[in-house]
Amino acid sequence: MLPARRRCIPATTLSIALAAALAAGPVAAQTAPPAQPAADAATAPAPAGDDKPTEIDRVEVTGSSIGRIDGETASPLQIISKQDIENMGARTLLQVLNNLPANRPGQMDSTSLFTGSDGASQANLRGIGAQGTLVLLNGRRLSYYGAPAGFQTQFVNIDSIPAAAIERMEVLTDGASAVYGTDAVAGVINVITRREYKGLEVTATTDMSSRIDSYGEHQASITGGFGDLDEDRYNVYGTVNMYRRDAIPLSDLYDKKPNQFYVNNPNYINNLRLDTGSAPGVFNPGSYFAFDPVTGARVQEAAPTCNNVITEAAGTRCVWQTWLNNEIDGGAESERITAYVNGHFLMGETTEGFAEATYTDIDLRANGGTPRAFGTTTGNPTSWFSRNTGNNVNQFFYPYMGPNNVYNHASPELRALMGGVVGLQYLLQDAGDNYFGQRNTDKSYRALAGLRGNIGDWNWETAFATAGSHSTTYQTVNVNLDGFEKAFGPFTTDPGTGRVIISDNPAYQFGVISEANAALLREAYPTFDIQSWTRLHTLDGKVDGTVYTLPAGEVRAAFGFNVSRETFYTPGNEDAANGLITQQGGSWFDGARNTYALFAEAVAPITEKLELETALRLDKYPNFDANIAPKIGLKYQALPELLLRGTYSQGFRAPSLAESGTGGVFAQLGGFRDETRCNETNAIAGLLLQSSRAGDVDLGNTLLNSDCGRTVARMTQPNPDLKPETADIATLGFVYEPTHWLSVSADYWYISRRDEIVAPDFSRPEDIMSLGRFPITDSDRANEAALAAMCADPASGVACPGTLPTYTVGNVSSVIGQYKNRGRTLVDGFDVDARSRFDLGEWGGLNIGVAATIANRNMYNSDDGSGWYYGNLVGYYGNPRLRATFNTDWSLRNWTTSLYVNYVGKTRWALEQIDAQDNNTETCTGGYLDVSPSQCDGAPSWWTTNLGVSWRPTEKLTVGVTVKNVFNRLPFYDPNDFMAFSSAYANNFGRIYSLTAGYKF
């Protein structure tokens, strides 16, 4: 008899106890769970005196290697069915996870551009990072995404999992390193596909927004299979899923941000120049400028023949419209095609062969918008590290025009200021409006084949799997120094001022738009690629069965092994490695390792009501001592309607190949805050903003906070001396079923992680191994001159101090750091889940559910000392105390109506206690920016409601309509978020209408 098929087990006390045990395994659940909630199976008593055999499926559910009867477990386990996913209105696995209270928002592919792991989405249980959550497909590992997040964190791209084939998801919110090894610290997400399928069905879904015209999500799938395991002794099925998300250009978003954004950025709309600038594609001659050698003030003028002149404090300027086809911030277009094939074959009476293969092709594209502008650099140059230039910082300046340049048509008065040398602002639009931007492709696969069977009461299984990912980022945004010099060189340097001067007669012809110019620009701003490969090969095997019989029942155990080969290779772009691509340093990684593991588990009924569960896993990684991860669980049936449970385990995560291998990050760091420059620039801006002269106010608005978050050259070095992270994980809770229609569970969870591997925190001086600064620039001196001129003019109306603010240092140019082990992290809280089912007779059936995660502590110590660095972060920004969902569905004949509410609690604006000195109720700021007066006390709570109706007029046809965000709630202004509208868990789409249709042939 095959272990995956139905077997006759007497409904004795032992079988009931087994039904309440720790469930599941590193292999797929072999049968679908019963329709009733797991608690029903866990707590329902057997009829007295009934010894008739009862057919009960022995299945494997996430969390154990022992085949058990599906039921409540010592470890908290959430099961999300296909119907649950439909009720959520979720279209992707990311959307499903964002509706789970235990999950915290992770990276989203649509807003992941320029993160280092562009084009991928992450899971993030308990908010401790994607590296702490293990993602499985049918109980086995997938290969990591090719590009690690932040060039550090290797993770599974959940967008690569075949959505159309999902039968259910099992989320283990407990540590599972004793079963699965590394990464399973916060829990496990196991996506389970159908075991078998026969027939043919097609489905299609489309979503559209009431607020953003360009928004759209579209999905279609076809699934077909043949063969019956019982009759034909085989089944093979396959599914193809196609998904498309439309791009959202700036034209659909720029005027739909929260009002406070425009208060904080008063020039935002004006700077788009929609009413004053030249139209896209229309030639614009640009502007010239120079600096007064006596005062340092900037003087500018529009080039001759300009038809779009505006007047500023420095003079006239020729302006152009911002091209509103920019899709980088609004949302990239994504197309995904996933193919999945699954086969099961019965071989004799006791053996089954199985195989599956999945292949996903993801193509994400975003138009970069406005063509590049030639703007002579007067402030800080672009700076970056690159692999082959060591610790030297590469720099790039847009050069000046010399006095003899054939395109220097500045007035004699302007030319006279700097000996004929002038700066230039000019729109390089020859390459076209769709040339610049970014594209990411990811091709991932997994194939496995295995055998399972039984010998007597012992079940066995073995399988070989190979998985991989090939990710490529194509960027067309940066300058290639050689190509730029070909277009505008050869360059010379003024020996007195150090200003770089372009050729007097460059190959690029200013003043025309031509194909010859376009060819030069495509070399000056080429499309370059960054490729990454990951591979994972695994061989595993296990046996499980009865090893002993106690008075209370059988002791079941499992023993197994796992051997894997992991490789990670990012060669880095050669031109970037040589410092020829601005802002890209040829970051590279190269590593491979073999790992070995042995594991054992046992379940022992100590008494009829008390069950002990134990697990032990030994993992051996190269360069580290063998790691032993134990787990123990207890489950006590205190009353027929009350189950008590608890677990303790130890977890670990080995350093990834990106963190401890060969290579490093050579690029830039955005948002670096330098308090010295920030305060000095804001002091100048603060006085300018008091002026009655319009030009001063415009400059003040431009300068305000401009030096508070700079992009600097960043080098992050791998650390071969890193230690593995270790963790203590515990849960304690109960399941209570007072009636047949109500089940309530509550669990306390605790994770204490030590030696957490983190990237350098460049806001902490002790993490910076080296720091460099630029000199004070022409632009700095011009700002000082503008302030001096304003204070000298009584018409400004400003009472200036006797000593004017000035610059004492230049901006930071570079920082260098290294990955390290951080002291410790502690997070804990409570999960509550209540489910009820009502039989309404002729009125159908009603299901109601409430789930919540209540965070208690989130603390860390970044050193090895005692105490906590910032204290408890719960309630501060990004760490809400409460996340909850409410769902209900009502089925009546061929109609089903569902309601789903997602809630996130409020937080302070400050990130922690020290940050609260600057971002609090009294200052009414967040992220050092003003917030709405009604939101001074922090980010408000957020909730949305989805309402769906599905109709099945026949056995074959299903039609559904879902309205997401029924009440059309619009996001609040979030100063900590680069999109300004709390994109972590809200969106700017307003009410969304979704249509679904499915047909079975």
Q: What percent of the chain has pLDDT over 90?
A: 58
Q: Which of 104-113, 326-335, 635-644, 658-667 has the highest mean pLDDT?
A: 635-644
**3 — pLDDT class (breaks 50, 70, 90):** very low
Q: How confident is the model at residue 927 (pLDDT cuts 50, 70, 90)?
A: confident
Average pLDDT rounded to a whole number, residues 831-853: 93
Burial (CB < 10 A; 0-12, 13-18, 19+), residue 579, is: buried
State yes or no: pLDDT of 249 exceeds 80.
yes
Say yes or no to pLDDT of 28 above 90.
Answer: no
Q: Residues 615-620: what's their mean pLDDT?
A: 94
Q: Are 13 and 51 in contact (CB under 8 A)?
A: no
pLDDT of 14 over the 50 cut:
no
Taking alpha carbons only, the member of 380, 291, 317, 313 closest to residue 688 is 313
CA 883 to chain centre: 19
Give the Cβ contact number of residue 463 at 10 Å: 21
- Give pLDDT tens digits for 408-424: 999 999 999 999 999 99
Residue 63 confidence (pLDDT): 60
Read off the DSSP letter of residue 983.
Answer: T
**Rama region for 413: left / alpha / beta (φ>0; ψ in -120 to 50; rest):** alpha
pLDDT of residue 13: 28
Specify the range with the lowest mean pLDDT, choosing from 230-234, 656-660, 954-958.
656-660
Separation CA 401–CA 425 (nearest Å): 11
CB 743 within 8 A of CB 834: yes
pLDDT mean over 584-601: 89
Contact 225, 311 (CB under 8 A): no
What confidence category does residue 72 fall into, taking pLDDT thresholds of 50, 70 and 90?
low
Alpha helices in 727-884 (DSSP H): 778-792
Over 70: is that where the pLDDT of 50 sits?
Answer: no
Look at residue 151 in the predicted model and tell me its pLDDT: 67
Confidence of residue 60 (pLDDT cuts 50, 70, 90): low
Residue written as token pair 């659909």: 252
Task: Check whether the bond before 605 is cis (ω within 30° of 0).
Answer: no
Please answer whether residues 478 and 528 qualify as being in contact, where contact means their C-beta atoms are separated by less than 8 angstroms. Answer: yes
pLDDT at 956: 94
Model pLDDT, residue 897:
94
Return d(Cα 447, Cα 137) in angstroms, integer: 11
**What confidence tier does 748 reach under pLDDT thresholds 50, 70, 90?**
very high
* Residues ≥6 apart with Cβ < 8 Å to 523: 480, 482, 483, 486, 487
pLDDT in the model for residue 334: 92
Q: What is the pLDDT of residue 111?
A: 74
Distance of alpha carbon 923 from the chain centroid: 31
- Angle at Cα 658 formed by Cα 656 and Cα 659, nearest 5°? 70
Give pLDDT, residue 980. Answer: 76
- Say what percent of the chain tops pLDDT 70: 92
pLDDT of res. 713:
87
- Residue 203: what pLDDT? 94
User: What is the spatial distance between Cα 948 and Cα 896, in angstroms, rounded to a whole number?
Assistant: 8
pLDDT band per the 50, 70, 90 thresholds, residue 983: low
pLDDT value for 328: 83
What pLDDT is recorded for position 970?
92
Q: Which helix (H) or strand (E) holds 317?
A: strand 315-318
Mean pLDDT of the chain: 87
Q: How wide is the angle at C-alpha 326 spanned by C-alphas 324 and 332, nearest 5°?
A: 135
Picking from 52-61, 125-134, 582-591, which range would have the lowest pLDDT averaged per residue? 52-61
pLDDT of residue 921: 92
Structure tokens at 117: 């792991």
Question: How high is the pLDDT of residue 662?
Answer: 74
pTM, 2 dp = 0.84
Helix 515-524 / helix 481-488 crossing angle, nearest 10 deg: 150
Q: What is the pLDDT of residue 458?
A: 92
Q: 986: Cβ–Cβ under 8 A, 6 or more apart, which residues? A: 942, 944, 971, 972
DSSP class of residue 907 equals B
pLDDT of residue 48: 39
What average pLDDT score do residues 513-520 get? 95
**pLDDT of 149 over the 80 cut:** no
At 705, is the pLDDT very low, low, confident or very high (cuts 50, 70, 90)? confident
Using an 8 Å Cβ cutoff, are 201 and 998 in contact? yes
Phi and psi of 720, rounded to 5°?
Answer: -70, -10
Q: What one-character DSSP code corresponds to residue 125? A: B
**pLDDT tens profile 382-396:** 888 888 887 788 899
What pLDDT, on a 0 to 100 scale, did the predictor assign at position 940?
Answer: 93
Per-position b or e across 226-262, b if 16+ CB within 10 A of its CB:
ebebeeeebbbbbbbbbbbbbbbbbbbbbeebbebbe
Q: By mean pLDDT, which of 11-20, 451-460, 738-747, 871-880 is the weakest?
A: 11-20
Q: Are 407 and 511 in contact (CB under 8 A)?
A: yes
At 138, list the tokens: 């049918």
Q: What are 856-895's pLDDT values in tens digits?
A: 999 988 776 567 888 899 999 999 999 999 999 999 999 9
* DSSP 8-state assignment for residue 751: E
Does residue 746 register a pLDDT over 90? yes
